[in-house]
Amino acid sequence: MIYLVRHGQTQFNAERRMQGWLDSPLTDLGRAQGAAIGRLLRSLIGKPDGWRLVASPLGRAQATARLIGEALGLPVETDRRVIEVSFGRWDGRLRDELAAEHPETFGQGGWQFAAPGGEGVETVEARVGDWLAGLPPEPERKVIVVSHGGSGRVVRGAYLGLSREETWAQEVPQDAVFRLAGGAVERFDCEPAEG
């Protein structure tokens, strides 16, 4: 079983700014979301015996994972394969600016991979697929992963065998947990967090 979490809201999220491999701190709301997710996971898994908590190396995922780890009494492991998609020269740019400058690309299908100097879709799929393939088989698999909007979509898409279009159409909430088990994905929402 995998529980998949997106990091809490960051300053860049609040500004509608592309993050990619850049980082910005969690907002008050983001910290409240991380704590709420920790409480939700504690209710979902009960005793954390045998569970692993894995996070992307980016600060926003690490900070969220630490909040979850505090709630569960688990240490945080780091795995670069679940890092966010790099948007190359679009990292740090405002979404509205990119939409105005690149209306033919930004916001259209596959725009995440159109950024100059960014990661290709095959690269992202390969590293996420490698991470999934390295996990123990179900039912021995007991992992919580704190990832990102883009790479989290790819985790769910690969697990379900979705097309690229279906993968990138998925929601990426920062106040929910996805359970990947038995070939299905189930969403659990947190109580509302106030920051």
Q: Is 84 among the catalytic positions?
A: yes
The backbone torsions φ and ψ at residue 21, rounded to the nearest 5 degrees and listed phi first, read: -90, 0
Residue entry with tokens 């679940």: 82
The gap from C-alpha 182 to its chain's centroid, in whole angstroms, comes to 21
Instruction: Give the contacts of 186 (CB within 8 A, at least 6 positions apart).
Output: 178, 179
Q: Of these residues, 7, 77, 102, 122, which one is catalytic?
A: 7
- Catalytic residue chosen out of the listed positions 84, 122, 125, 138: 84
**Are the CB atoms for 33 and 71 separated by under 8 Å?**
no
132 C-beta neighbours (distance < 10 Å), count: 18
Handedness of CA 120, 62, 31, 193 (dihedral sign): positive
Cis? peptide before 192, omega within 30° of 0:
no
Catalytic center residues? 7, 84
